[in-house]
Structure formats: structure tokens, C-alpha cells
Structure 1
Amino acid sequence: MAQFIGIGIGAGLVSALLFGVLLKATALAILLYLLAPLPILIVGLGWSHRAALVAAFTGALALSLIVQPFLGLGFLAYLALPAWWLAYLALLGRPGADGTMEWYPTGRLLAWTAGTAGIAFVAIAVIAAPNYETFQSQLRGMTRTIVRIQADRAAGAPVPKPVTPDAGVEAPVEPAPETPAEATRTEVANALAAIAPGLATQGLTVLLTFYLWAAARIVRISGRLPRPWPDLAATVMPRRVLAVLAGSIVLALVPGYPGVLGVALAGALSAAFAMQGLAAFHDRSRGRPGRLALLFGLYVVLFLTQGVALVALTLFGIADTALDRRRPQGSAGRP
């Protein structure tokens, strides 16, 4: 017991240090910040989920006492507890009828990764702005700034200088009428603000999946990974995840933070289905002639088309779950 507590405390302090350097706002600080969940996942997979839980609360306490309570709470909700939870799920197992260990399926683990990302985003949003109107105001202000900067860069127009009135003449203070271009920018910014939670959780889902994979590889190299390495290409999420996706889309229509949760879950699940689509392509291309060329072509298309290819992969992943054609069938094995 003392061993996992000591290891957990050490990992939590390292994770808190990596998270705290973000305040320096440099490129290196951002890179180190992105590595913050790894120590928690490593001790969770290599020792126990209890060590990961100790690490999560140790890091949060250190940030709260040394920096500020808000930063510690944000670290706990957004990165530390999600890392502990995923490590806990990854090591779940039960003995089968033949005495072998049946480990938690990678498809369910991928679905929980998406769900964890959606919940973590809403948690940090509520912590940062308990009032929903404040959250919306901040989000729209951020998206308007992004849209304005992008529009100015595309146009290449300099920022107009304010006109100084003649001395002794009072200039009337009147709000400038919004031009059609500015009205369009406002509409685009508002639309972007509406889907921003989904875009954020798409990235967080991919990051959490990568963190879990990287931590498992590190622990496996050290020889401490309890479960055998799974067949990642065979990952298939359960069909009930489709119902969760449909429910999240309906929930997105609800006002307030419940609607934000719906958008966040929809975005996170779309990323999960895109990764499943990628896994399905790897799985279905096994044993086919020219497999390496097919995979190389797929990644080139992904790099060049980006958004379009991701939508196609997401639809492929959804169809893969809905049709359920890659499940093992009794003793016959994979179809």
C-alpha cells in the first residue's frame, strides 16, 4: 500500500508540474502541458488505479496550494480524473469459463474515452463560468475574434485608424452601423460558437486515446502491463453507442449547459467513430494484395483533404458498428 501511495504522489507532482508550466505560454510550455496526463496513466496501468487516483488528487492539491485553487480544480476535472478513469477501465477484467482472463473490450474503452472527453469539457466549462450566459458570452467573443482575424488575413486589409475630429468640435458618439460583411462575420462566429464544444471534444477524444495508447506502450516495454496487447484494428464500439450519439444530438437542442453537453458528446463520439473507421480500414485490408499501398493512400488522402476525409471515416465507423460485420462468430473466429 505504501508503495503505490508513494508512486502516486510522485506521479501527481510530475503531472502538476507539466500542467503548471502552461502559465509561461511558450511553445515548449504547451508541449509539456500536453504530456501532463501521461504520468497518471502510466502509474494507473503499471501499478494500480489507486495509484492513479492518488496522483490525480496530489497534483490537484499541489496546484491549488502553490498556484491557485481554480487551476487545481481545472486540472482535476479536465485531465487528472479522466486519466484515472481510463486507466481503471483498461485494467478491468474477469475470469472466463475456461479460466482465462476476459479483459475490458477496446470498443467499449473507446466509447468511454469519448464520453469522458465530453463530460470533462462541460465540467471545465462550468468551473470557469458557472453562469451559462457568461460562458456563451466568452465563447462568442472568442469565436468573433478568430473570425475577424481570419477575415482580415484573407482580405489583407490594414486595420483602419480612428478619425480625430477638429479641435474644439465635439464629435457625436454614435454606434457605427453594421455592414453586411460584419453581419456575415457575426453569423459565422455565432455558428462557430454553437459547435465549438463539439470541435473541442473531438480533439480531446483523440488526445485521450493517444495518451492511453502511449502510456500502455511505455508500461508494456517495462513489463508491468497486466493485460496482453489487444488487437487494436479489431476495435468495434457496441451498437448502443449509436443510441447515445442520437441522444446527444437531441440533447444538443436543449438550452443551457445540457445542450452544451449534447454538442460535446456528439463531437467526441464523431471522433471516436472516425478512429473506429480507421481501425476498420486496417482490419478489412488484412491479407489483401497491396495493403501497404492502400494504407499509404488512405493517410495521404487524410492529410490532403482533412475535414472531408474525417467525415467519411466517421460515417464508415458508424456503418461498421451498425452492420456489426466484424464480430467474432463462435468458434469460427472472425468472419
Structure 2
Amino acid sequence: MSKDLGLSIVAGVASALVYLSVLTGGGGLGAVLAYVMPLPLVMIGLSWGFGRTLLGSGLGLAVIVAAAPSAAPVFAAAALLPAVILVRLAVQYRPVPQGGVVWYPPGSLLAWLAAAAVVLMVLGTSLIMGSGTGFEEQARRYVTQLLDQMGPLTPVEVRDGAVALWSALFPAMLGSAWLIMAVLNGMLAQWTVAKAGHALRSSPDYGALELPLWMLAALVGAAIIGLTAGGNVGYLARNAAVVLMWPQMFVGLAVVHQTLRRRSNAGMMLAFFYVAFFVLFGWAQVAVAGLGLVRHWTRLRRLQVVGRQEEK
């Protein structure tokens, strides 16, 4: 058996065993490990190619089907889908006339991950909520029950505020968690295989992260529908807009890194920035996403000016 084939088997089984440990009550460690379920599959793909990720994914799914068939769809969505999207796009390249290759840009990969997160969010919400009363009302009942179990002695005003916020953004919280998991696994896998000297592609310059132009149109469209439409359509569109803000925030973080790393005390300033970012997370997230939007809009205007000049 070749080395890459054996590692593919190990990767698939490892992802499946992590998921099974969560299902059987892995506690706090299981919850942490659940967030890196796709990691072995991404690492094997970034080292040996997309075919090995598919092989590992198939073996992992077979293990889950044999052990807990009803859990297979969740495993496929949480572990296999992000790994397949990440590796399939990350190992794409095109040759250039001057020699060498240009790898698939990380901004475009991030955009497709965000699109997948929105699709999963819409499908998952529709399947879980089903028909009957509105999605938001069902989410409110679920969140209320959850908070009653977690903190029965919580003051009424705090509980009501949490219910209002969490129920309004419940699908977005799930979609955002999936997107963040996929991004972190991709970055960690690339860093690991590059350090080991097995990376198929060169590590991207995250400071130069740029999103495809259609991402701005998708965000604006979701926001408009969310503000104008009612019922389940408006509810899902508002949550989709929240998920689509995450790529803009990642671009904003790239701008911050690109700006601060030129300074002599870059490490200290970045540490201070992230402390403030997590302390003021809600407002800081909006501000950094706004910075990403400014960069996106500036790039769009620059491309429009270049296009007009070429037409003359």
C-alpha cells in the first residue's frame, strides 16, 4: 500500500472517529475536536491532491453509516463538504506564459465557502423548521427552551434580550460557525503541510486578500431582500446577509495586518488590536467588516476607471 493511500484511510477514519466521540458525549474536548473534523481530510488533499480527499471522505462516511446511519447527513455537511470545497479549489492552478503557475486565489475560495454556508443555512433551516408557523417564531421557542435549561435563574430582562437576539440570528449563527470552521481548517492545514514540506501549493499572502466582485452584489441583494420582504424569505435573507458579512470582515482583518506589519512594533500592535477586537466583538466586527467593504468598493471603482481608460 502506498503512503498517500494509507494516509487517506487514516484521515477518513480519524474524522469519523472524532465525530463519533462527539455523538457519544465527548465533553468539552469533544466539542473542541468537533471543530477540526475536516482537518485530516484537508491536510491529505493539500499534500497529495483532491483524489485523496475524496477517498478519505468516502471511507469516513462509510464508517459513520455503519456506526450511526442517522448521523451521516450532519457528518457530510460538517466535515466532508468543507474539506471537499477547500481542497478542490485550493489545488487548482493555471500556467502563465512567463513560466510557473498561478494558484486559485484565496479570496475566491473564501467567497465560495461563504456561498456554501448560505446554502447550507437555508436548507438546514428549512428542513429543521419544516412548515407551519414562521421560522423566526420557531427559533424563538427553541432558544427560549435552551436558555431555560441553561440558566433558569437568569434575570428576565437579560433572558428576553438574549432570546430576541439569538432567535433573530439563529440560522446565521449556525452558518457563520460552519464558515469559520472551514476557514480555520483551511489555514491550519496549509500551514501544517507547508511546515512539513509537503504542500502542493505555496501559502497565499492573506494580507492581499481580495474577494470577487459578485460577493458585494450578493451581500447587497440579501440585505435588500431582508429589509423589504417579510415572513420566512425576509428572515432567511437577513441571516444570509449576516453570513455574507464574514468574508468582508476577513478582508478587513487582512487590511489591518497589511497596515500594521509595516511598523517596527507590529507584533505588539496586532496583539493590542485583537484584545480590543474580542472585547468589543460585536461593534468591532461591524467596523472591521466596514473596512473590508471600503476596500472592496475601492477595488470596484478602480477596475471601472481602468475599463473606461481601455475603451478610449
Which interval holds the TM-score relative to the shorter structure?
0.7 to 0.9
1:162 matched residue in structure 2 = none
CA contact (8 A) 1:115 1:265 kept: no
2:197 corresponds to which of 219, 223, 231: 223
TM-score, normalization: structure 2? Answer: 0.83
What is residue 52 of structure 2 aligned with on the other side? Answer: 51
Q: For each residue in 1:48-72, what CA deviation from the matched residue of structure 2 results, as whole angstroms up to 9, or x when unmatched?
A: 112212222322222122112x211
In 2: Cα distance, 1:201 partner to 1:268 partner: 6
1:307 alignment partner in structure 2: 282
Local SS of the residue matching 2:115:
helix
- Listed one character per residue, the Cα deviations across residues 30-60 of structure 1 (whole Å, up to 9, x for unaligned) are 1222221111111111111122122223222
CA distance in 2, matches of 1:259, 1:3: 51
Residues 1:289 and 1:223: Cα distance change in structure 2 (over 3 Å): closer
Aligned residues: 300
Number of the residue aligned with 2:32: 31
Pair member with larger Rg: 1
Give TM-score scaled by structure 1 length: 0.78
Q: State the distance in 1 between where 2:66 and 2:137 align.
A: 30
Alpha carbons of structure 1 residues 133 and 45: separation in structure 2 relative to 1, 3 Å: farther
Q: What do residues 239-291 of structure 1 show as CA deviations (whole Å, max 9, x unaligned)? A: 321101112224443644x5565344322221221121111011123423543
Which residue is 1:66 aligned to? 67
**Distance 1:17-1:263 versus aligned 2 partners, 3 A rule:** farther
Mapping of residues 125-164 of structure 1, within 5 Å: 125-126=125-126, 128=128, 130-131=130-131, 133=133, 138-146=138-146, 148=148, 153-155=153-155
Compare 281-290 and 92-101 and name the one that shifted more: 281-290
Compute the displacement of 1:207 (Å).
1.9
Counterpart amino acid of 2:52? A
- Whole-Å Cα distance in 2 between the matches of residues 248 and 79 of structure 1? 27
Aligned-CA RMSD value: 3.2
Q: Which runs of 5+ in 2 are unaligned?
A: 307-312
| Structure with the higher fraction of residues in helix conformation | 2
Q: Is the 8 A contact 1:53 1:84 kept in 2?
A: yes
Secondary structure at the counterpart of residue 94 of structure 1: strand
SS at match of 2:200: coil
Contact 1:20 1:63 in 2 (8 A): yes
Q: What amino acid is aligned across from residue 205 of structure 1 in structure 2?
A: L
The answer to whether the Cα contact below 8 Å between 2:78 and 2:178 also exists between their aligned partners in 1 is no
Q: Distance in 2 between matches of 1:17 and 1:7?
A: 15
The Cα shift of 1:15 comes to 0.6
The answer to whether 1:281 aligns with 2:281 is no
Please give the secondary structure, in 1, of the residue aligned with 2:169: helix
The aligned amino acid for 1:110 is L
CA distance in 2, matches of 1:134, 1:13: 40
Deviation at 1:93, TM superposition (A): 0.5
Q: How does 1:1-335 map to 2 (within 5 A)?
A: 6-25=6-25, 26-68=27-69, 70-126=70-126, 128=128, 130-131=130-131, 133=133, 138-146=138-146, 148=148, 153-155=153-155, 185=160, 189=163, 192-252=166-226, 253=229, 255-256=231-232, 262-324=237-299
CA contact (8 A) 1:74 1:124 kept: no
- Measure, in 1, the Cα distance between the counterparts of 2:65 and 2:100: 44
- 1:77-112, Cα deviation, whole Å (9 max, x unpaired): 232122111111111100012122011111112222
